[in-house]
Amino acid sequence: MKILRLLLIIGVALSAGCMKLTETLTLNSDGSGILDIDYRLPEETVTQISGMMKLAAQLAAASGEPAPHDANDYLNLLLNPSEARIRQKVDSYGIEDLILKEVKVESNDGQRVVKMQLTFRRITDLAKTDFFVEQGFVLTRQQDGNYRLTRAGNRDVRASAIDLDDPQIVHILTPILGGFEATILVKTPGRLLQANTTGRSLQQAVWNFDFNRDPKAFRDFYSEELVAVFEGEGLSLSAE
C-alpha cells in the first residue's frame, strides 16, 4: 500500500505543475449560493495521471488491496475530467437543490480547460459532496450573531517532512510545481469583519497560492486554515 500511496502522491504533484485553479464561493442573503470552479492543466499531465491511476489499481488488485480510488472519485475527475463524468458525479450525490448549472470541458493549446458552476440552496447541502469535504468551507454562527466560514485544511500535509525553506528542495521541486497557482474567493452577503488574508474588500476575501512567488504555496493550498467572518445582522443562514 505504501507503493500505491507514493504513486498517488507523485500523481498529485505532477498534476500541480502548470495547473491554474480559481474557486469562487458566493453566498446569498437567503442562504443559497453559487460555486464556480475554473481550472486548466496540460493534456500531457492528464495522460500521465490516467496511466498512473490505472497502474495503482492494477497493483492493488495484484496485492489483494482495495483500489486507492475509483473512476468517479473527485480526484480522478479533477485530474482526468469530462463533461459526462462530472454530470454523473453530481447526479450521484442525490441532493435535490444542488444543481450543476454549467459544465464545459475542452482542449485549448495543449491544455485541458474546465469550467463548471454549481448552485445550492444551503451550504450545508454543498458540504455533503466529497470535494467540498476536502477543500470546502464550513459555515457556523457565532454567539455574537455573526457568521464564520472556515476551511480547516489538511494537517497531514502541513506535517510533511519536506522542508520547503531549503533552497535545494525548492530547486528539485520547481520543474514539477513551477506554474502552480490557485485562487480561492469568497463573496459574503454581509460585511466582511475578519479574514486571514490581505486580499479582501467590503464583502470579498481572496486567498492566492502561487508557487513561483512562494515555494510553500502548493503545501499551503492544501493545509492552510482559511477563515472569513462576516456580519450576520438581518441574515438567517443555514449553518452547522
Confidence of residue 2 (pLDDT cuts 50, 70, 90): very low
Per-chain mean pLDDT for the chain: 79
53 found inside a domain? no
Contacts of 56 (CB under 8 A, 6+ apart): 4, 7, 8, 67, 68, 69
Instruction: Supply the pTM of this predicted model.
Output: 0.79
Give the domain range for residue 189: 20-41+83-230
210 found inside a domain? yes
Provide, rounded to the nearest whole percent, the portion of the chain with pLDDT above 70. Answer: 70
Q: Quickly tell me which residue has 493550498 as its cell.
A: 221
Nearest to 86 by CA among 96, 100, 69: 100
Beta carbons of 114 and 37 less than 8 angstroms apart: yes
What is the number of structural domains in the chain?
Answer: 1
The more confident residue out of 114 and 220 is 114
239 found inside a domain? no
76 found inside a domain? no
88 found inside a domain? yes
In tens, the pLDDT along 190-215 reads 999 999 997 899 999 999 988 778 77
106 found inside a domain? yes
99 found inside a domain? yes
